[in-house]
């Protein structure tokens, strides 16, 4: 049930995907809401010592991402998203002034 709170799948789909090694959550690294949900799920699974894998799509295929690297990349992605939003706000303000 804990996993269900974080993913948009039924319990049946979660179980099926897990048994068949299909991801239960796919996120866009540029979407901070999705990243936040994934981070929360990873933390819950880690707390419960559940077995899980974090996979990253690369140009060469799919690679497993260690938990520590995910948490570091999550923080970096969050900072980048915040900076992008700040720059967008500045550009919008400049456009309004012209």
- The structural domain count of the chain equals 1
Output the pTM of the full model.
Answer: 0.65
What pLDDT, on a 0 to 100 scale, did the predictor assign at position 57? 85
Is the confidence at residue 29, as pLDDT, over 80? Answer: no
Q: pLDDT, tens digit, for every residue of 49-91?
A: 888 888 888 899 989 889 888 888 777 877 888 899 999 988 8
Query: CB neighbours (10 Å) of residue 32?
Result: 19
Is the confidence at residue 1, as pLDDT, over 60? Answer: no
Q: Please compute the mean of the pLDDT values over residues 26-50 and round it to a whole number.
A: 84
Residue range of the domain that includes 69: 3-97
Q: Show Cβ contacts of residue 36 under 8 Å, excluding neighbours closer than 6 positions.
A: none
| Distance separating alpha carbons of residues 56 and 62, to the nearest angstrom | 6
What pLDDT, on a 0 to 100 scale, did the predictor assign at position 98? 63
Query: CB neighbours (10 Å) of residue 52?
Result: 14
């Amino acid at each position: 049930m804990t996993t269900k709170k974080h993913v948009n799948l039924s319990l049946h789909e979660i179980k099926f995907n897990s048994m068949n090694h299909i991801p239960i959550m796919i996120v866009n690294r540029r979407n901070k809401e999705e990243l936040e949900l994934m981070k929360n799920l990873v933390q819950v699974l880690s707390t419960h010592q559940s077995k899980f894998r974090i996979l990253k799509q690369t140009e060469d295929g799919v690679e497993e991402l260690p938990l520590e690297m995910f948490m570091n990349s999550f923080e970096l992605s969050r900072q980048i998203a915040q900076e992008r939003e700040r720059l967008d706000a500045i550009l919008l303000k400049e456009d309004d002034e012209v």
